[in-house]
Structure 1
Amino acid sequence: METHNMIIENIADPKALERLFREDPKAFKMAFSQAFEQNPDSQVLAVWYERLHFKAAANTEKDVLPQKGFLFMGLLAILAGISTRIIFHFVEIQAIAPLNLAFGVLPFIAAFFVYKNTPKRNVLFFLIALFLISGVYLNMLPLNYKDSIILAYLHLPIFLWGLVGLAFTGNEYGKGSIRLAYLKFNLNFFILYASMAISGMLLAAITMQLFSFVGLDIGEFYFKNIVLFGAAALAIVTSYLVSGNLKIAKHFTPYIAKIFSPLVLATLLVYLITVIWLGKNPFLDRNFLIAFNGILLGVLVVTIFSITESGIDEKKTISDYINFALIVLALIIDSVALSAIVFRLSSYGMTPNRFAVLGVNILIWANLIWIMLSYIRFLQNKTGPSTIQNAVTKYLPVYGLWAAFVTFTFPIIFN
C-alpha cells in the first residue's frame, strides 16, 4: 500500500502518523502533499502541514537579516585573540599577574551574550563596572605568592565566571531555568572546546614538525602568535556554536553525564575503601586533606552536571539513584573534611588557607544537604525533578559571593 494512503488511513490515529513520520521523514513529506490535496479540510493534516513547513518559514525570516551575530562573533574572536597576545607580553616580562589572561577572553564572551540577549541598562552597567573593578583590583595586588594573594588568584576566576553567567541570563537572572541553561552551556562549551583544542594541538604539532624539516624552529613564535591567539578566539567561536543550539553537543552531553556518574561512584567507593584500609588520616595528613577536598569538588561538579542533564521527566531512572548515592557520598566526605579542618584550626590556629577551606566546605555542605533533601522528596514521589534543579540553580550566587568575598577581602584581612 502507498505511504500517502497510509497517511489517509491513519488520519485519526496521531500515534500511527507520528510513527510513519519517524520511520521515513523524507518519504512522509513527499507523500503528505498528495494526502493533503485529497483532504484539504482535515484539521489533523492542517496541523501536520504547519509542523512540516514551519521550520523553513522560520529560516526564511532569519535569512532576511544579514548574519550580524556571526560577524559580531568574528569581531569579538579577533579582539580576544589580540587582547590575549598583548596581555601575555606583559605577563612574560612579569609586569602583571598571569591571571590577567582571563580578561583576554571572559569579557568578550560576556559581550557576546550581552549582544545576543541585551539586558536592561542597570544590569549592563553593573556588569561593565564589576569587570573593570576586578581588572583594576587584580593589578593593584602585589606580585607575590603569599597565601592570601594566591587565594585571591584562585577565587577571582570563579567570580568572573559568575559575571559571565549574569551576562548569559540577562534580565532573567533570577529564573532557575535560565541558570540551568547556563550550567548546560558550560558543559557543552567544555566538551566542544576540548575537542577543537585537541585538533588545534595536532595541527600545531604537524606545523612545527614540517618547519623543523627545513631547519626552522618556530616553536616559540608559533606559541606566542598563533596558539595564544587561536586559544582565545576559539573560546568565542565555541560560545557562538554552543549558544546556537549545536545539535552534536545537545545530544552528546546527556550520555556523558550518564556514563560518568556511575564510573565516578564506583571509583570513589574503591578509593575510599582503599584509604581506610591503608589508614590514611585527613586530621593529621595535610596533603591528604587537600586531596580529600579536591575529590569533594570533583564529585560536586559531576553531580551538578548530571542533575542539569537529567531533564524534566517525572519518571525516576537508575541515574537518579546513582546521583543520590553520589550526593550522600559527597556529604560524608565533606563532613569528614569539615571535622578535619575544625580540628586543624583548633590545633594550629587560623590561616588564610584554613579559613578559605572552612568557608567553602560549609557552603558545599549546606548545598549538598539541600540537594539531598530535594532528592529524597523526589524519590518518594512528593515532588518533581525541578525541585532538585532548583536546589542547584538557586544556590549558584552563593558560590559567586563567596568567591568575591575571598578575592576582595582576604588580601586586606590577612595583609
Structure 2
Amino acid sequence: MAERIKKQILDMKDDPDGLEDLYRSDPEHFKKTFLSLVKDKPGSELFKFWRVRLEYSDQAPIPPAVPLAVVLLIAAFFGLMVRIPETFITDEWYYPRFAPFFTILAVAAYFLFKKTDRLLTNGLVIYSIITSLYLTVLPDWQSSDSVTMALIHLPLTVLVLLGICFAQNEWRETEQRIAFIRFCG
C-alpha cells in the first residue's frame, strides 16, 4: 500500500489538489510515505510546502516554571523584611513605610526570576536601594502632611514598577497591559 501511495504522490507532484485529495483519503499513511519520500527527493517546492505542513507542531513552547524553592525563598526573604519591627524597630515608624514596598517588591522579584532581564533586574535593585534610603530618612509621618502624601503614593509607584516587571519588553502591547490589570484584580 505504501508503494501505491508513493507512486501516486510522485505522479501528483505538480498537482496540489490531487495531493490534498490523497492526503484526505488516508492522512496517516500519506504522512509516513510522504515524509520518507521527501527525504529522497527534496527538490519540489510543493513537496517543501507539504513537508512543512505535515511536520508542523501547533504546541506553543512551555514557559519555564519557577521552582517552588525559589518562590519560598523570595517569600521568606521579604517576609523577614516585613517582620523586622518585631525585633528592632517600632511598628508605627516601620510599617507605613516598608510593608507595602516590600510586599509588592516580592511579586516583582518573582516576575523577574520567572523571565530574567538583566537591565530590569539592575534597575529594580537600584530603585529598591534608593527608595529604602529615602524611606529611612523621612521624618515621622504623623507630624507631616508631605510625608503622609509620600507614603500614600509609594505603593502606586511600586505598582508601576510591578507592571514593568510583569510585562517586561512587551510593555507597549495592549494585551500585556490588560493581562497585568487582570492580574491585579
TM-score normalized with structure 1 length: 0.29
What is the CA–CA distance in structure 2 between the aligned matches of 1:91 and 1:98, rounded to whole Å? Answer: 13
Deviations 1:238-267 (A, max 9, x none): xxxxxxxxxxxxxxxxxxxxxxxxxxxxxx
> Once the 2 structures are TM-superposed, how far is the Cα of residue 141 of structure 1 from its aligned partner?
1.0
Taking a change above 3 Å as real, the CA distance of residues 75 and 150 of structure 1, as seen in their structure-2 partners, is same
Paired residue type of 1:116: K
Structure 2 match to 1:138? 135
Aligned residues: 139
Map 1:93-172 onto structure 2 (within 5 A).
Answer: 94-121=92-119, 123-145=120-142, 146-172=144-170
- State the structure with bigger RCO (CA 8 A, min sep 6), 1 or 2: 1
SS of residue matched to 1:105: helix
Paired residue type of 1:184: R
Structure 1 match to 2:13? none
Paired residue type of 2:128: F
Structure 2 match to 1:69? 67
Map 1:186-205 onto structure 2 (within 5 A).
Answer: 186-187=184-185
RMSD after superposition = 3.3
Q: Where in structure 1 are there 5+ consecutive unaligned residues?
A: 1-35, 188-415
Q: Where in structure 2 are there 5+ consecutive unaligned residues?
A: 1-23, 32-49
SS of residue matched to 1:96: helix
Map 1:318-329 onto structure 2 (within 5 A).
Answer: none
Taking a change above 3 Å as real, the CA distance of residues 177 and 90 of structure 1, as seen in their structure-2 partners, is farther
SS of residue matched to 2:83: helix
Paired residue type of 1:162: V
What is the CA–CA distance in structure 2 between the aligned matches of 1:176 and 1:88, rounded to whole Å? Answer: 43
What is the CA–CA distance in structure 1 between the aligned matches of 2:152 and 2:86, rounded to whole Å? Answer: 19
Deviations 1:54-81 (A, max 9, x none): 48xx67xx8xx8x653321121122222
What is the CA–CA distance in structure 1 between the aligned matches of 2:162 and 2:139, rounded to whole Å? Answer: 26
> Once the 2 structures are TM-superposed, how far is the Cα of residue 112 of structure 1 from its aligned partner?
1.0
> Once the 2 structures are TM-superposed, how far is the Cα of residue 117 of structure 1 from its aligned partner?
1.7
What is the CA–CA distance in structure 1 between the aligned matches of 2:95 and 2:124, rounded to whole Å? Answer: 22
Structure 2 contact 104–162 (Cα < 8 Å) conserved? yes
Quote the sequence identity (%): 25
Structure 2 match to 1:179? 177
> Once the 2 structures are TM-superposed, how far is the Cα of residue 158 of structure 1 from its aligned partner?
0.5
> Once the 2 structures are TM-superposed, how far is the Cα of residue 132 of structure 1 from its aligned partner?
1.6
TM-score normalized with structure 2 length: 0.60
Paired residue type of 1:172: E
Paired residue type of 1:126: G
Structure 1 contact 96–143 (Cα < 8 Å) conserved? no
